[in-house]
Structure 1
Amino acid sequence: MKTSEIRSRFVDFFARRDHTVVPSASLLYNDPTLLFVNAGMVPFKPYFLGDEPAPFKRAVSSQKCVRTLDIDEVGKTTRHGTFFQMLGNFAFGDYFKEGAIQYAFDLVTGSEADGGWGFDADKVWVTALFGDQETIDLWQKVGIPREHIQERGLKDNYWHMGIPGPGGPCSEIYIDRGPEFGPDGGPEADEDRFLEIWNLVFQQEELSQVRRKDDFDVLRPLPNQNIDTGSGLERVAYLKQGVANMYEIDEVYPVIAKASELSGRTYGANELDDIRFRVVADHVRSGLMLMTDGVTPGNEARGYVLRRLLRRVVRAMRLLGVADPVLQELLPVSKAAMLPSFPEIEDAWGRVSQSAYAEEESFRRTLQSGTVMFDTAVGEVKKGSSTTLPGDKAFQLHDTYGFPIDLTMEMAEEQGLSVDRAKFDELMKEQKERARADAKAKKGGATSMEAYRQLREKGDVPFLGYTDLDVSTTVRGIISDGVAVDRATDGSTVEIVLAETPFYAEAGGQDADRGTIVGDGFSLDVVDVQRPVPGLVVHRVEVFGELPLGAQADARVDAAARHGACQAHTATHIVHAALRELVGSNATQAGSYNKPGYMRFDFSSPKGLSDQLKAEVEARANEAIIANHAVTAQQMKLEEAKALGAMAMFGEKYPPIVRMVELAGPWSRELCGGTHVANTAEIGVLNLLSESSIGSGVRRVEALVSTDAFAKFAAERALVNQLTETLRVRPDNLVERIEKLVAQLKDAEKSIAKLQSEKLLAGAASLVGQAVDVAGVRFLGVETPGVGGGELRTLALDLRERLGSEPSVVALIGGAEKPTAIVATNEAARGLGLGAGRLISVACAALGGKGGGKDDLAQGGGTDATAAPQAIAAVRAALEGRG
C-alpha cells in the first residue's frame, strides 16, 4: 500500500465521519516558539490552549513535520528521521475516549476493501495510563483482549506541552511485527517488535505547574474534553509495505537506490555504508520539503538547519566514494517520489533546484580548501599524541572556510578525536561581540531580522495603494545583506523602507507589485515587496545611480500589472463563491495564488469535479463577471464580519478590525487585504484551465482571466480549425471522428499484441529444449527482450505446461527500457518448497527492483535491463542452494 494511499484512507475515513479536512500547514508555521512545525497538533494549539474558539467540532489532517534535535541519530537507528508526516484526528468538546478508541480500532483493523488499513486485530496491542480503567474497559469493549493491554506510568502515557495548559492521559496503539523482530511480551518487553503507530491523547485537565514529564500540578478539569491523536505515516507505511524501516518505503527508498547506483555500493552490504545511505535519503527528502516551503540555505535558524542537511548529504556521498556533484542526481529522484503527495513541489522546483545546486557548489569549494587544513590539523594533533582538536582550529575552519561546527565534530569523530567545543564557543562569542560593535565587519553573518525590527520601531509603513499608485515619500531605511546602511550604490540590489508606500506587499495569495521609485540622481526598479515583520513594508530594488538614506522619492506602481493582479484576485473570490454555491459550503479555501492574467485556488473537497460540474463553475463565474457587480471593501470588527458570513482562512491570524471585500451581496464576502477591480465586468472573461488533487481532501482549480483567457480561447479555436481541416470533418463531428480513430488504433494494437503472442507461443517448443536439470528440478531461464506484461505471463504458463509433471521452474526476463520478470512453478516444484513468490524476489533483486505474487506465478521488475543474465543466474543459484 503506497504511502499516499495510507494517507488518503486516513483522511477519507474521518471525513466520512463529519471531520473537517484541514490541509497541512506550512513547515514554517507562524509560531514564535517553533523553528518548524514538529507535531500534527501544532496548527490546533490555539484551540487546545483556549486562545481561540475552534471553528469546528471535529477535524482531520495530515501534517508535514520536521524535527532536528536528533539529527545526529539519523541513519544510525531506524526510528529517527527529520521530515515526517503526522496523521491526526481532533475533537473539541465533541466525542471523547469512547469515540476516539472506536474510530482508531475501526480504521486500524478495518479491511482494505472497506477503506481500512487492514491490520490483523490479533496483532494489535495498546497501552494505557496506570489506573485508567475507563480506557482499558473501552479497549476491551472494541475487542482487544486484556492480555494485550499494558499499563504504563506518567512518563509514557500522560501528555502535556511542557508548560501550564491542557493535559491528559494517552493510549498508544502498537503492532506486533512477529518473533523475528524480538521477544514476546508486548511493548513493555520490546518496542522494536511491538511498534507504536498511533497515540490517542485524552485532554481532560488544566495543568498549573509543569516541572518534568511526570511531575506537574493539576489545576482543574478542562471545561471541554478534547481529543488529539497522532499517527506516524512513515511507520504505518513500512509496516504496510513489508519493509524493514522508514528508509525503505516508497517515498524514501528511491533515493537510496540512486545513491547506491552512483556509488557502486550495495545497500545492506555493511552497516557503516547503510548509515550513510539512510542519511542521504532522509536529508535529501527533508531538504526538498523545507525548500518547497520557502527555506533557503543560510547561517542562522531555519536556513542553518537546511544548510546542515544538504551538506551532510554531500559529505555522506563523499564517504560512499562519490566526489562528483550529487544533488542534481538525487534531488529529482526525491521529487518524483514525493510529487504524488505534494504536487506543490512542481511549482517550486525551479527555485528549489537552483538553491540546492548552488549550495552544493559552494560547499564543494569549502570542502576542497577546508579539508586540506583539517587534515593538517589532525596530523599535528596525532603527532602530539593528543585526542582533541583545538577549538581555535575548529573556529578557523568555520570562519575561513564556512565549516559548520557540527561537520568539524563529525569529521573529528571519524578520526577518533574530539573537539574543544568550549574554546570554539568562546571564540564565536567574541566574534559576535565584534560584529555588534562594527556591523560592517559582518563576520559570522548578519542578523537581518534585527535590522527590520529597528526600522519597525520607527513606526508603521502605511499602505496607500488602495487609492494611490503614485506617492511622494521618503527613503526611511536601506538594508544591504541584512545590515542597515546609509546609502546604496549603482548596480547593487538592496532592500528599502519608505515612509509610506503604494506598493502592495505579497500576501493573501496576491503577488507583490512591481514598478519604479525615482528621485534626484537615482532610479530604483522594484522587483519584490514583502512584510518581514508586521507593520513593515520592505521593497527589494535594483539601484541605478546613488541612493542616499533620507532621499525624497516618487514611488510609482506599474498600473497595468496592478490592474491585472486586481482582475485575477477578484476572479479568485468569484471562483470561491461559485464553488461554494455549486459544490457545497464545505468547499472552503485552502490556499490561493494570483498574478496578472492567472489565478489558482485550492479548496477542501473529498472528491474531484466532474467535467459537467467544472463547466458549470466556469459558467457561473462568467455570469458573475458579466453581471457587472460592484466590488466594495469596508473596515469592520472581526465579529461583525463573521456575523455577515465573511469567509476567513483557517490558520490566518486576524486583527480586531478587518477588511471585508464584497461582491453580489452575501454571495461573496471574504476577509481580504488584497487589491480588487471596482466592478466584476473589468475582469472580462475567465477560462477554467484545470481541476486536480493536491492532497487528500484538497483540490486545486487554475484559470486564466482577461486577455490571457481570451488568448487561450483563441488558441483552442485555432487548434479545432486545424484538426477539422486535417481530418476533413465539420467541427460538430470532430469528437466522433477522433473517437473512431482512437478505437481503430486500439484494435490495431490488440491485433499486433495477439500476433506477437502467437509468434512467441509458436516458438515455445524450441525453448523447452533449453531446460536444464538443477538439483533435481527442470529449470528454464530465458531472456525475451522487448516482450513484457501479458505476453510474458502467457509464455511462462505455456512453457510450464510443456515441461510436464516433474518439478519445473520457468524464469523469463523481458521488457524494454525497464526489465520485467516472471517466475512460474508447477505443483511438483511447489511440493519441494519452491514458491514463485520467493524466487521472483531473488530475480528482481539482481535487476535492482522488487517483485511478488503467489507460489505458482509471480511477477516483478527492476531498473537495470542489462542485468537479465544475472537475474536468471540468481534464480538458478537459489535452486542449487535449496538443500
Structure 2
Amino acid sequence: MRTADIRSRFLDFFAARGHHVVPSAPLPTPDPTLLFVNAGMVPFKPYLTGEAPAPWPRATSVQKCVRTLDIEEVGRTTRHGSFFQMNGNFSFGDYFKEEAVAFAWELSTAPQADGGYGLDPGRIWVTVHHSDDEAAAIWRRVAGLPAERIVRRGDEDNFWSMGVPGPCGPCSELYYDRGPAYGREGGPAVDEDRYMEFWNLVFMQYERGEGAGKTGYPLLGELPRRNIDTGMGLERMATLLQGVDNLYEIDETRPVLDRAAELTGTRYGADHRSDVRLRVVADHVRTALMLLADGTAPGNEGRGYVLRRILRRAVRSVRLLGYEDPALRELLPAARDCMAHSYPEVAEDFDRISQQAYAEEDAFRSTLRQGTTVLDTAVAEVKADGGRLLPGAKAFLLHDTYGFPIDLTLEMAEEQGVEVDRDGFAALMAEQRERARADARARKSAGALDTSLLRPVLDAHGPTDWRAYDTLLTESRVLALLGPGGGPVRAVRSGEIATVVLDRTPFYAESGGQDSDAGRLTGASVEAEVLDVQRPLPGLVVHQVRVTAGELGVGDTVQAAVDAEWRLGARQAHSATHVLHAALRQVLGPGALQSGSYNRPGHLRLDFPWRGPLGPMARAEVEEAANRALRRDLPVDVRWMPLAEAKALGALALFGETYGERVRVVEIGGAWSRELCGGTHVDHASQVGVVALTAESSVGAGMRRLEAAVGFEGFGYLARERDLVARLAEQLQAPRDRLPERVSALLDRLKTADQQAADLRRRTAQAHAAELAASAADVHGTLLVTTVTDDDARALALAVRDRLPADRPGVAAIATTTSGRATLTIALNPRATTAGLSAATLVKSALSGRGGGTAEVAQGGGIPAEELGAALNGLKGLLARE
C-alpha cells in the first residue's frame, strides 16, 4: 500500500466517524520558541490546553513535522528521520479512552478490503501506564488482548506532558511484532526493533503542577474536560505495510536513495559508511523539499539556518560518496515525484523550490572550494611546525565561518596525515551553543508576554471585540493591566509603560507583514500613547502604551483612537506590497513568489526567490508595471469565502501562514492580484500614490529583497533623487541626460591616475627594496632586513626578499603602524625555508602568537606601536638560536 494511500485511508476512516478533517499546518510555526512543527498535536495545542475553544468536538489530520535536535543521528540508525508525517485523531472533551482504543484497533486490524490496514491482531502488543488499570481493561474488552501482550511501563515511557504546568495524562502505545529476524522475543520492553511502535494514544485527564523532568511534578487533579491526542507514525505504518526494513526504504524515500546510489556508483547495503551517507541524502533531500515548499528559505539564522544545514549535509554526503557534480538537480525531482501524490503543491511550485535549492548548492560548492583552501593552508602550517594535530579553533573557524562540516574536516585532514583536536572543537561548539541558548532565552523573555497572566483575562471576558476593519475609534473599557515589571497591576501612572487589554479595540495588531497601528487612549483623567499592538493568544489583542498624563486603571473607560494618517500610510504600504508582488510575477514569471514581507507607513520590503540581481532594466520594468496598475486605478475588493473556494479561484497564500476554514481574499484588479490577506488596504489602487523602488539586495542564496518608498514618502524619495541629479548636473556642468557619460569619463580619469600613482609607488618601493637588501645584517649566516614603512608592507617584503642573495638564507621583516598599533610582515627566500626557517613561526614568536601564514610569507599584528622595536630586535635573537 502506497504511503499516500495509507494517509488518505486514515483521514477517510476518521471522517466517517464524525471527525473534522484539518489540513496539515505549514512546517514553520508562529510560536517564537519553536522553529518547526515537531509533533502532530502542535496545531491543536490551543484547544488541548484550553487557550481557545475548539471549533469542532473531534478532528483528524496528517501533520507534516520536522525534528532536528538529533540530526547527527539521521542515517546512523534507521529510526531517525528529520521529516516525518503524523496521523492523528483528536477529541476535545468529546470521547475518551474507550472510543480511542476502539478506533485504533479497528483501523489497524480491519481487512484492507474493508478500509483498514489489515495488520495481524495476533502480532500487536500494547503498553499502558503502570497505574492505568482502566486502559488495560479496555484493551482486554475491546481487542481481546491477552494479559501477556499488555505491558505496564513507567512515567518515562507511558506518561505524557508538555514539560510545563498544564494538561497531562497516561498514554497507551501500539507495537507490531515484525518477527524473530528483527530481534529477541519478549515484547517492546525487551526489543523495540523487533516490536515497532506505530501508534501512541494520549489520554489527557490530569493537570500537572510545577516541576522538572518526567516525574518531578505533582498532579493537581482531574481536568474538567478530558481530551484525546493520538499520533500514528505514517512512515512507520508504511514500513510495516510495504514489508521493508525501515523508513528509508518506503516508497516516499527509497527512490531518492536509489538515485543517489546510481549517481555515485554505490550499492546500498554494501557497507555501513556508504549506507549512512545514502540515508542522509534520502532523508535530507525530502526534508529540504518540504521546508522549501512551505516557504522556508536558506539563511544564516533560525529556520533558514536549519534548512541550509540540511541542504549542505545532503550535498556533502553525495560528495563523500564520490559524486563531484551538482547533485540536487538529479535528486530533488525524485523527491518531488515521491511526495506529489500527497502534497500536489511540491509539483505545482517546483520551479521556485528548485531554484532556491540549486542556488544554495551552487553557493555551498563555492564554500567547499574556499574552505578546502583554508584547510590545506592550516594543515601545511601544522606540518611546517612539526605537528600532527590541527587546532580545534581552526576546525571551528572552518565550521562557523565557511560552513565546513566537522566530519568533512576530519576526513580531509586524515587524508593528509593530520588529526583534529576534537576536544578543542567540541569545547568551542559547546560555548557557541550556550551563547545561542542564552540568546534564545533572552529573546524569549524580552520578546514574549507571559501568556499565563493573560489567559485568565481571555477566559473571563472572551475574545477582544476587534473593530480594525470597521472604524478608527471605539469606546473601550480597560479589562487588565500588566505593569512595567510585567505583572498584573491595578493602575499605571504618567511616564510608565504598560500592557493594556481592552474589551474592544480599533487597533490593527501586527500580523501578515503589516506593522501595528499607532494612536492614543484618552480618558477622563488619562492620556496614553499606543506603542505596539499584538495578539499573544488567539482572539486576544493587547496594547503596549506609554502613559503621558494622568493615571490609567483597570475598569476605566477610554476612547481608543487610531492615528488616521498612520493607518492611511499602512493601508497604502500593504496594498502597494500586493501590487509590487503582482508586478514581479508579471515581469519575471510565476516563480517570483513572495516569501516574506514587511510594510509600514511609507515603506515596504518584499522577499522573493530569484537567482542573481534583477539588473536595472528588470527593476525598471517591475516599477513601471506597478505604477501603471496604480494609474489605471484598479479596484480593490475584499471578500470572505471558504478556503477551498479561494484556492479554486487561484488566490495566493503567504508561505508559513496558517489559514482557517474561512479566509479573507484581497483582489486588486480581479485576478491580476488575488491573495489571502488579513491586512488593511486602500479602496482603489490610485490611493497608493506611487511605488518608488529604493533598493534591491540579496538576503541569502537564491533569495532577493526589494524595498520601496510608498505614497507621500515615495514622492519625497523621487523629489530628493531629482534634486541630487540637479546638483550633480550643476557641479559637473553637464545636461542631465549627459550625466552618465560625464561621470564615466571622470571615473576613467581617476582610474588612470590611480594606476599611475600605483606604478610610481611600485618603482619607489623597488628602489627602496634594493637599498634595504643591500643593507641586510648578517645574523649567524642569515641575512636579515628590518624596517618600518608607510608603503605596502607585503609588497615591500616580497620585493626585498627577491633581492637578497639566492645562495644565503634571507629574511625580510617589514612593519607598519596605524592608530598606535603595529603590523609585521615577514617573507623568506627559498634558501631560508630549505634551512628550516618558517615565516609563520617567526611572526608568531615575535608577536607572542599574534599572526599566521605559510613558511614563505606570514603576517601578524595588533601589538602597541611602542613594542615594535623590541619585536624586531627579538627576531635577531630568534635567528641566532636557529
Corresponding residue to 1:527 among 521, 524, 531? 531
- What residue number does 1:584 align with? 589
Instruction: After TM superposition, list the pairs within 5 Å mapping 1:613-692 onto structure 2.
Output: 613-692=618-697
Q: State yes or no: 1:828 paired with 2:831.
A: yes
Matched residue, 1:98:
258
Matched, 1:476 2:479: yes
Task: Determine the structure 1 residue equivalent to 2:772.
Answer: 767
* Structure 2 counterpart of 1:504: 508
Whether the aligned pair in 2 keeps the contact of 1:819 and 1:865 (CA below 8 Å) is yes
Q: Could you say what secondary structure the match of 2:704 adopts?
A: strand
The CA distance in 2 between the partners of 1:510 and 1:147, in whole Å, is 51
Partner of 1:541: 545
Secondary structure of 1:806's aligned partner: coil
- Spell out the pairing of 1:310-459 with structure 2 (5 A cutoff): 448-457=450-459, 458-459=461-462
1:402 is matched with none
Residue 696 of structure 1, aligned match among 701, 713, 721: 701
Query: Equivalents in 2 of 1:574, 1:555: separation in Å?
Result: 31
Q: Which amino acid aligns with 2:533?
A: V
- Mapped to 2, the partners of 1:795 and 1:601 lie a distance apart of 49
Question: Bigger CA drift: 738-747 or 871-880?
Answer: 871-880
Counterpart of 1:316 in structure 2 is none
Give, in angstroms, the shift of residue 760 of structure 1: 2.0
- For the residues of structure 1 that align with 2:733 and 2:282, how far apart are their CA atoms? 74
Tell me the equivalent position of 1:49: 86
SS at 1:49 equivalent: strand
Residue 518 of structure 1 is matched in structure 2 by 522
Distance in 2, matches of 1:460 and 1:45, equals 37
Instruction: Give the total of aligned pairs.
Output: 560
CA distance in 1, matches of 2:847, 2:252: 49
Q: Residue 552 of structure 1 aligns to which amino acid in structure 2?
A: T
Quickly say closer, same or farther: Cα 1:743–1:560, change in 2 above 3 A: same
Report the alpha carbon displacement of residue 45 of structure 1 after superposing the two structures with TM.
7.7
In the alignment, which residue of structure 2 is the partner of 1:494? Answer: 498
Q: Which amino acid aligns with 1:523?
A: E
Secondary structure (helix, strand or coil) at the match of 1:729 reads: coil
Aligned amino acid, residue 536 of structure 2: P
Tell me the amino acid that sits aligned with residue 392 of structure 2. N
Deviation at 1:509, TM superposition (A): 1.4
Pairwise CA distance, 1:869: 4.7
Q: Taking CA–CA contacts closer than 8 Å with sequence separation of 6 or more, which of the two structures ends up with the larger relative contact order?
A: 2
Taking the aligned partners of 1:37 and 1:845, their CA distance within structure 2 comes to 47
1:550 aligned residue:
555
Conserved in 1, the CA contact under 8 Å of 2:478 and 2:502?
Answer: yes
- Are positions 1:244 and 2:379 aligned together? no
CA RMSD in angstroms comes to: 5.0
Paired with 1:745 and 1:592, the residues of 2 have a C-alpha distance of 41
Structure 2 CA distance, aligned partners of 1:585 and 1:851? Answer: 49
- Quick one: distance in 2 between partners of 1:455 and 1:775? 85
Within the alignment, does 1:463 sit opposite 2:466 as a pair?
A: yes
1:520 to partner: Cα distance: 3.1
Quote the Cα distance in structure 2 between the aligned partners of 1:708 and 1:251.
43
- Measure the CA separation in 1 of the matches of 2:441 and 2:852: 30
Write the distance in 2 (CA, Å) between the matches of 1:253 and 1:875. Answer: 33
Measured in 1, the distance between the counterparts of 2:314 and 2:618 equals 43
Pair 1:858-2:857 in alignment: yes
- Could you tell me which of 600, 604, 607 is aligned with 2:605? 600
Q: CA deviation at 1:721?
A: 1.3
Pairwise CA distance, 1:685: 0.8
Alpha-carbon contact 2:765-2:796 (below 8 Å) kept: no
What is the CA–CA distance in structure 2 between the aligned matches of 1:618 and 1:767, rounded to whole Å? Answer: 60
Q: Matches of 2:441 and 2:785 in 1, distance apart?
A: 47
Of 699, 723, 726, the residue aligned with 1:721 is 726
2:269 match: secondary structure: helix
Q: Could you list the per-position Cα deviations for residues 320-375 of structure 1 after superposition, in whole angstroms to 9, with x for gaps in the alignment?
A: xxxxxxxxxxxxxxxxxxxxxxxxxxxxxxxxxxxxxxxxxxxxxxxxxxxxxxxx
1:801 match: 803
3-state SS of paired residue (2:605): strand
Cα distance in 1 between the residues matched to 2:725 and 2:688: 26
SS in 2 for 1:537: strand
Residue type at the aligned position of 1:48: Q
The one-letter code of the counterpart of 2:633 is N
Give 1:640 deviation, angstroms: 2.3
**Which residue identity lines up with residue 498 of structure 1 in the other structure?**
L
Within the candidate set 702, 727, 751, 1:746 is matched to 751
Q: Secondary structure at the match of 2:763?
A: helix
Once residues 456 and 670 of structure 1 are traced to their aligned partners in structure 2, the CA distance between those partners, rounded to angstroms, is 31
1:476 to 1:100, Cα distance in 2 relative to 1, 3 A: farther
The structural deviation recorded for 1:639 is 2.5
- Which TM-score applies when normalising by structure 2? 0.55
Cα deviations by residue, 1:231-266 (Å, 9 ceiling, x for unpaired): 9x9x99988654633685279699xxxxxxxxxxxx
Contact in 1 for aligned 2:575/2:685 (Cα 8 Å) = yes
Q: Is the 8 A contact 2:598 2:606 kept in 1?
A: yes
Residue type at the aligned position of 1:493: I
| 1:824–1:451 distance in 2 versus 1, CA, 3 Å | closer
Give the corresponding residue for 2:60.
none
How far 1:673 sits from its partner (Å)? 0.8
Contact 1:475-1:499 within 8 A present in 2 as well: yes
Where 2:844 maps in the other structure, the secondary structure is helix
Query: Distance between the aligned counterparts of 1:539 and 1:651, measured in 2?
Result: 25
Instruction: Give the letter aligned to residue 676 of structure 1.
Output: H
TM-score, normalization: structure 1? 0.55
Q: Find the partner of 1:136 among 253, 269, 272.
A: 269
- Which residue of structure 1 lines up, in the alignment, with residue 784 of structure 2? 780
Partner SS, residue 258 of structure 2: helix
Distance 1:663 1:92 in 2: 40
Superposed displacement of residue 147, structure 1: 9.1
CA distance in 1, matches of 2:561, 2:276: 68
* Structure-2 change in CA distance of 1:795 and 1:770 (3 Å): same
Q: Which amino acid aligns with 1:622?
A: N
- For residues 617 and 604 of structure 1, the distance between their equivalents in structure 2, rounded to whole angstroms, comes to 15
In structure 1, list runs of 5 or more residues that go unmatched: 1-20, 53-68, 70-90, 107-132, 138-145, 161-165, 167-194, 201-220, 255-270, 304-446
Q: Determine the C-alpha separation between the residues in 2 that align with 1:514 and 1:763.
A: 67
Cα distance in 1 for residues equivalent to 2:436 and 2:863: 24
Which has the greater radius of gyration?
2
1:347 corresponding residue in structure 2: none
Deviation at 1:197, TM superposition (A): 11
Unaligned runs of 5+ in 2: 1-25, 43-65, 75-80, 90-211, 213-250, 285-289, 291-312, 319-338, 347-356, 379-389, 403-421
3-state SS of paired residue (1:803): coil
**Structure 1 residue 499: deviation in Å?**
1.9
Instruction: Note if contact 2:695-2:708 (Cα within 8 Å) is conserved in structure 1.
Output: yes
Distance change >3 Å, CA 671–CA 766, structure 1 → 2? same
Q: Tell me the secondary structure at the aligned position of residue 747 of structure 2.
A: helix
Question: Aligned partners of 1:30, 1:850: CA distance in 2, in Å?
Answer: 40
> Does structure 2 conserve the Cα–Cα contact (< 8 Å) formed by 1:598 and 1:704?
yes
Contact 2:773 2:785 in 1 (8 A): no
1:610 deviation in Å?
Answer: 1.1
CA contact (8 A) 1:662 1:668 kept: yes
What is the CA deviation profile of residues 461-489 of structure 1, one whole-angstrom value per residue up to 9, with x for unaligned ones? 13211121112333333332433344444
2:453–2:487 CA contact under 8 A, matched in 1: yes
